[in-house]
Amino acid sequence: MLIGNVGFGLDSTSGEVMEMLAYVIRNLLQRLVLLFVVSVMAHAVVHIAPGEPSEVDPSNPRLKPEDVTKIRAAFHLDDPLHLQYVYWMRDLLSGELKSFKDSQPVLPKIWDRFLNSLPLFVTATVIVWTLSFPAGIHAALRRGSVYDRSTTFLAYALISIPGFFFSYLVILSVVELFGVPVIGMRTFGMEDAAPLFRAMDRLWHLVIPSIMSALVGVAILSRYVRSQMLEVIGADYVRTARAKGLEEETVVYTHALRNALLPFVTMFGLLLPGLIGGSVIFEQIFAWPGIGRLGYDAILARDFPVILTINLIAAVLTLAGTFLSDILYAAVDPRIRLQ
Amino acid sequence: MAVTAGEANARQAPGEREMEQTTAPHGGTLAGEFWLRLKRDRLTLAALCVLALLVVAALAGKALTEWSTVFDPATVRLMDKFRPPLARPAEQLPVPDRPRFGIYLLGTDDLGRDVFARMLQGSFVSLSIGFVAVAISLLVGVTLGALAGYFGEIRFGFVTVDTLIMRFTDVMLCFPTFFLILTVVALLPPSIYNIMVVIGLTGWMGTARFVRAEFLSLREQDFVAAAEVLGLPRRRIIFVHMVPNAVAPVLVSATISVATAILTESALSFLGFGVQPPFATWGNILADGKAFIFDAPWLFFTPGLAILAVVLSFNLVGEGLREALNPKLRRV
């Protein structure tokens, strides 16, 4: 979708604006079609796979066969698949979609959990982006040094350790040492405290979960920063800048870094789906009532509407993310033209 | 959180960890040069040794726990619960239940099963999950990528084969991978084969995109044109002439995918959807061990450190191979 085209500088004529607009519209339409296919596939996978909501509790003696029939009818489970899809979409779009499990409306339920996940996601992302860049740039500038080699090894170790194993180790060592809470979002019984204390309590609860869920990201992103930086630092224009007699700092931060940063602009867009995908394990470890745990509980309860809607939201976020990254890339790199 | 390891591997530019540009090795053949380059990288060599050990352990595990029960992973000894590593069995324990060498090498678990025997058995299962899952994703990825790259221009009605396959790839990329794996594994009846297949079928997209791009450029090259002029069958051109030229980087990233698959299995085990009891895997030994982290830390640390060592080795070997194959570092 992105075509490199040297020479189209900054002179944006009205023709280019029109082209841009056409690109955006065509792209959005394509993505809508993709979204439709994704939703059909997700629906089919969830419904065709064995395991019915009515079978969650087969040993319950109070659940008589006629109850099962009633439940199946109430959830439209006996209708053909395409009809069930239509019902799902109709209810989703009219906002009346209800959970199988507790008959609560699905969208507000997901929204609540989303608001819980958001601080965790934002803090972790901030940690990832603020730590990775200094670490990666430093490693690239001192390539082959002890620092470089040890961070390389550390990064691979962090990528390789099972997340929950590492989290448990940290919990074991940190809780007694610093008294940091590692369960839930807030201290039980703090509801009546002054707002300031409640806010501090929330922040304090955020520390360990956000660090733990950020670590793998730091490892991966800092390696990527390092390799981008190495690629740029050998380029001709960096040599020219040095040959001109510019200070090393100017060369590195003004000439090299700015060009090395280009691919990362696009990664802002690709962050979006991480809001849902990456959170299941860590929310489970730290008993964080976020969207990942909602999904996990929904899977356990065969709560199809919740599973499907979370999946759909994840797909929307992925598509929005790639769209955003395409646009951002074109915006920051004049060599790239949308087609 | 920002990017999961698997995704990043798919997106990462090749040649992430370069080696110092040394004087050109004079190996003669390409393979010789490759080997010379690899020999210099001690970290990769060490990791390769760990993997060789692992393969031996896995085969030994299969042979010694299932074909002939030299180490018995299934015997329950309730009087010998939670024995620490290197402990001797209780005096009253009936002779046939005693562990090999009269000692619990890695201790026993909450049912008095020998952890060493379970780890041995698990090494085969964990490794085969990794390899089978990656083999499936390679098969799907290479086939679809090759089809899209080679037959891309053929039309079905109003869409080309290329559009069809690549849009399907885009669709698959829209699913949140781990959540999808979790959903499908939870809904299907619990079975080790389902886990392999599901991990495999959700991980082929990067390979397909890469192979397609390679095929698009290979198709224009002279040796493919020559093969076509010679009238070789298409199947032969694709699989004998083109795939070997496209597949080296794919195999390298497959090494890293094996690591990711092993981690995914342990994460599934942690959530309770992993391989179910009759089979021991490192993932489910670790997940079961977390309940006894204070009473019997060896149940938690043995599988955890084993997974760390193995996954780390796979990652290091993958990166080392990627470097050794990197044409930018090759002798001109």
- Helix H, strand E, coil C: the string for B76-113 is CCHHHCCCCCCECCCCCCCHHHCCHHHCECCCECCCCC
Q: For chain A, count helices (H), then strands (E).
A: 15, 2
Q: Whole-number mean pLDDT of chain A?
A: 83
Residue B176 has its nearest CB partner, among A224, A270, A273, at A273
Residue A152 has its nearest CB partner, among B17, B180, B184, at B17
Which tens digits make up the pLDDT trace of A183-202?
888 887 777 778 888 888 88
Which tens digits make up the pLDDT trace of A90-121?
888 888 888 887 878 889 999 999 999 999 99
Which tens digits make up the pLDDT trace of A229-255?
888 888 888 889 889 888 888 888 888
Q: Return d(Cα B332, Cα B172) in angstroms, integer.
A: 40
List b or e across A73-98, with b for residues whose CB sees 16 or more CB atoms inside 10 angstroms: eebebeeeeeebbeebbebbeeeebb
Residue A87 confidence class, pLDDT cut points 50, 70, 90: confident
Residue A301 confidence class, pLDDT cut points 50, 70, 90: confident
Reduced to 3 states (helix: H, G, I; strand: E, B; else coil), residue B146 is: helix
Cβ contact, residue pair B2, A168, below 8 Å: no
Which tens digits make up the pLDDT trace of A117-172?
999 999 999 999 999 999 999 998 888 889 988 998 899 999 999 988 999 999 98
DSSP character at residue A53: G
Residue A46 confidence class, pLDDT cut points 50, 70, 90: confident
ipTM: 0.83
- Mean of the pLDDT values across residues B158-170? 88
Tokens of B76: 């329950």
Tell me which residue of B177, B314, B306 sits closest to B256, measured CA to CA. B314
Which tens digits make up the pLDDT trace of B193-218?
989 999 999 999 999 999 999 999 88
- B297 → chain A, closest CA residue: A169
- B19 → chain A, closest CA residue: A144
Which tens digits make up the pLDDT trace of A242-292?
898 888 888 888 888 888 888 887 777 777 777 776 678 889 889 899 898
Tokens 């030229």 -> residue? B245
DSSP character at residue A255: I
pLDDT of residue B72: 76
In order of A115, A127, A314, B254, the CA distances from B206 in angstroms are 32, 27, 19, 10
Cβ contact, residue pair A38, B290, below 8 Å: no
Q: What is the DSSP string of A75-107?
A: TTTTS-HHHHHHHHHHHHHTT--B-TTT--BHH
Residue B144 confidence class, pLDDT cut points 50, 70, 90: very high
- B175 → chain A, closest CA residue: A315
Q: Evaluate if residue A327 carries a pLDDT over 70.
A: yes
Cβ contact, residue pair B182, A280, below 8 Å: yes
Of all residues in chain B, what percent carry a pLDDT higher than 90?
A: 22
Name which residue leads in pLDDT, B1 or A286: A286
Q: B 283-322 residues with CB below 8 A of A?
A: 283, 286, 290, 293, 300, 304, 307-308, 311-312, 314-316, 319
Of all residues in chain A, what percent carry a pLDDT higher than 70?
A: 91
With contact defined as beta carbons under 8 Å apart, do B203 and B137 qualify?
A: yes
pLDDT of residue B140: 95
Prediction pTM value:
0.84
Residue A49 has its nearest CB partner, among B182, B188, B259, at B188
Residue B11 confidence class, pLDDT cut points 50, 70, 90: very low
- Mean of the pLDDT values across residues A16-43? 87
Reduced to 3 states (helix: H, G, I; strand: E, B; else coil), residue A56 is: coil
Residue A8 confidence class, pLDDT cut points 50, 70, 90: very low
Q: Evaluate if residue B23 carries a pLDDT over 70.
A: no
What does chain A come to in residues?
A: 339
Q: Evaluate if residue B8 carries a pLDDT over 70.
A: no
CA distance B262 to chain A (A): 9
pLDDT of residue B96: 72
- Mean of the pLDDT values across residues B2-28? 42
pLDDT of residue B327: 60
Residue A338 confidence class, pLDDT cut points 50, 70, 90: low
Cβ contact, residue pair B300, A41, below 8 Å: no
pLDDT of residue A337: 63
Give me the amino acid identity at A311.
N
State whether residue B326 sits within 8 Å of chain A by CB: no
Tell me which residue of A226, A222, A217 sits closest to A256, measured CA to CA. A226
Q: What is the DSSP string of A139-170?
A: HHHTTTSHHHHHHHHHHHHHHHS-HHHHHHHH
Element (H, E) at A262: helix A262-271
Cβ contact, residue pair B179, A282, below 8 Å: no
Question: Which residues of chain A does B293 touch, with a Cβ-Cβ cutoff of 8 Å?
Answer: 168, 172
Q: Return d(Cα B117, Cα B103) in angstroms, integer.
A: 12
A150, A220, A318, best to mutate vs chain B, most B CBs in 10 Å? A220
- Mean of the pLDDT values across residues B266-291? 85
pLDDT of residue A22: 85
Name which residue leads in pLDDT, A326 or A31: A31
Residue A53 confidence class, pLDDT cut points 50, 70, 90: low
Cβ contact, residue pair B13, A280, below 8 Å: no
Residue A50 has its nearest CB partner, among B171, B174, B187, at B187
- A155 → chain B, closest CA residue: B312
Q: Evaluate if residue B271 carries a pLDDT over 60.
A: yes
Q: Evaluate if residue B277 carries a pLDDT over 60.
A: yes
Residue A160 has its nearest CB partner, among B8, B259, B290, at B259
pLDDT of residue B292: 87
Q: Evaluate if residue B17 carries a pLDDT over 80.
A: no
Phi, psi of B88 (to 5 degrees): -95, 150
CA distance B59 to chain A (A): 23
Residue B104 bridge partners (DSSP): B87
Which tens digits make up the pLDDT trace of B100-126?
777 777 878 878 788 888 888 889 988
Q: B 182-241 residues with CB below 8 A of A?
A: 182-184, 186-189
Of all residues in chain B, what percent carry a pLDDT higher than 70?
A: 88
Reduced to 3 states (helix: H, G, I; strand: E, B; else coil), residue B10 is: helix
